[in-house]
Each structure stands twice: as structure tokens, then as C-alpha cells.
Amino acid sequence: MALTKKTARWLYRNCRESFAGKTVLITGANSGVGFKSAELMAYLGADVIMACRSGEKANAAKAALLREYPDARIDVMPLDLADLSSVAAFAERLRAERIDIDVFLHNAGVFRKPGQTTKDGFELVLGTNYLGAFDLAERVLPYLASLPHGVLFVNTISIIHKIGRIDYDDFFCRKRYGNFAVYARSKLCLAKYTYRKAQQYENKGVRIFMSHPGISITPLGANAFGPVVRRLSSVFGWIFNSPEKSALSLPYLMSNEFPPGSVVGPRGFLNGWGYPSRNGIARKVRTGGEELIAFTRALLARAGNRTDA
């Protein structure tokens, strides 16, 4: 599990500032890019909070990290984005316990869940990747802005957001469901929302950005397509960006200053491979944010959910 020598060299060249004393909260930190992000933070001396749906998997991931980094400070918090009551309880705990956070990386997400719904009755992929993430951000951003220091907030999108489309008349794709279309829509919505919130919080002490892993095979994708894809990914994994390389976007963001709403991801061909750099932002991400936010708030309100922001 130890970081590769190439990663260690990249971190030495690009992250000269010490991360000791920083508290980094990562959602979906028990596997894939989220786990590697947690490992990078432990390696760099930061305190880590793993916010995960499965306590069993989170504690197993924590134990694995502590075997490699025995002096690391790692905590686990429950958070299920497919259950808005869990999101509310998580945000309330942050406020009630005045948990100090320097960096908040939202990484959790799901893919390829046809016919499944969240606890609140929404299509599972859009309900988790966008509505759950929206509700989470709306609840925690005011708290983060109240802390006596600056905070870095990062939403993880996907390179596939570039082909996403939003249809407000059939938002949950009931007429025609496609695994990639629904996933792309969820990530486009999250990108548009994040870009708009970045402008709103620019002078409130919270710097908001987006990151994406590029073309990377993680348990999210491999497990969604079953054993054949898992075997192929193990054989041809060298073709893709490794979760470890994709996770470097977080320390890269922590070590640089970018305009609010910037996107960081691999710098190689089509932003699919390579070490992190600042990527361009599609026009459809920069426009329509207010309309989407109003639609989403109305959607959640009809479901009986209220947020604090």
C-alpha cells in the first residue's frame, strides 16, 4: 500500500509546505481515489477524517492506513449521501462538536444503479452524486465559513461531465435511462453547482474548487460492471491513471492558488491521464447555475427536506 517512489518524488517537488496540523475531511475515503487521498494526507502529516457510508469498510481502511502510518491521526464519521437524514445528522455533528476542518474533500459517489432509489425516493445515482452532495454542501458551507481560518472545499466531478445534459422535464431519466447519461448528468449538475457556489463564497473564507480523476479504474467503475471488467482492469490497469496519481489533485490544490471554481485534473491528453494541472472549464458549467440551484431547492423542498443555506 505504500506510496510509489514516483509519487513521493512528485510530492517533494510540488508540496514543500508542511500539512502537519491540518485537518482534512474526505467523504468516500474507504476505497479508490478517496482512500488514496486519505493516504496522501496521512503521509504528509495531516489529520484525517474519513466520512463513509459503511462503518465496517471505513474502519478497515483506517486500520490499513495506521499499519502503514502508525503515527497518523485518523477518525471515522458516518455519512450516507443516499439518505438525507444521514446528511443532516452529519452536518449537525460538525456544528455541535465544533469540529475544526481545514480541507473538505467530497469524493463519495455511485455509478450504474438502474432501478434503484435513495432512502428519500430519488433515482440513486442522481440522488447520491448530486442531490446528496448538494444537500451536504448547503449544510456544511455556512459552518465552514464560520471557522476562524480559511477553508478549502473541493467537490469531485468526472471528466464525463463534459458530455452531460440536463433535462428539467425528465430530470431523473425516467423516459430513457442510460448508465453513462445519468452519471454524466449527475456530475454536470455538481460541476455547475460548485462553480456557482465558488463565486458566492469567494469573500467568505471558503475557497471552492473541483477536481476529477481523469480516466482511472477504481472500485466504483470496476465493481459496477462485474468480474470481467475487474479482471481486465487488473491486467490493463497500466493504461489508466492510477487512483494514487488521480488523488494528487488534492495536495496540488492545497499547494497552489487558483481562481474560485477552478477545475484540477490530469494534464495529459484530453485531461484523462497524467499528473494534476488546472484544466479548462466548459461554458455549460459556467452558465445556468442559478436555474439549477432553484430547481434543486424546490425538488428537495417537495421531498420535505430543508437546508440551512
The C-alpha cell at 68 is 502503514
Task: For residues 14-26, give the mean pLDDT.
Answer: 92
Question: What strands lie across the sheet with 74-78, from one edge to the other?
Answer: 74-78, 47-52, 23-27, 103-106, 151-156, 206-211, 263-266, 276-279
Sign of CA dihedral 292, 298, 304, 306: positive
- The confidence score (pLDDT) of residue 224 equals 47
Q: Domain range spanning residue 52?
A: 18-302
Residue 309 and residue 307: Cα distance in Å, rounded? 6
* Residues with catalytic roles: 183
Asked if residue 9 belongs to a domain, the reply is no
Query: Does the residue 175 lie in any domain?
Result: yes
Model pLDDT for residues 77-133, shown as the tens digit of each residue: 999 999 999 999 999 999 999 999 999 999 999 998 989 999 999 999 999 999 999
Q: Is residue 52 situated within a structural domain? A: yes
Counted domains in the chain: 1
- Establish if 110 belongs to a structural domain: yes
Indicate whether 81 belongs to any domain: yes
Phi and psi for 277 in degrees, rounded to 5? -155, 170
Q: How far apart are CA 125 and CA 128, in angstroms?
A: 5
13 occurs within a structural domain: no
Q: Which residues does residue 211 pair with via DSSP β-bridges, in sequence order?
A: 156, 264
E strands in 145-271: 151-156, 206-211, 263-266
Give the phi and the psi of residue 148 in degrees, each rounded to 5.
Answer: -80, 20
The mean pLDDT value of the chain amounts to 91
Report pLDDT digits (tens) over 194-239: 999 999 999 999 999 999 999 876 555 545 445 544 454 554 454 5
Condensed to tens digits (0 to 9), the pLDDT of residues 138-180 reads: 999 999 999 999 999 999 999 999 999 999 999 999 999 999 9
Rounded CA separation 207/201 (Å): 7
Entry pTM: 0.92
State the burial class of residue 268 (Cβ atoms within 10 Å of its Cβ: 0-12, 13-18, 19+): middle
Q: What CATH number did the domain enclosing 130 receive?
A: 3.40.50.720
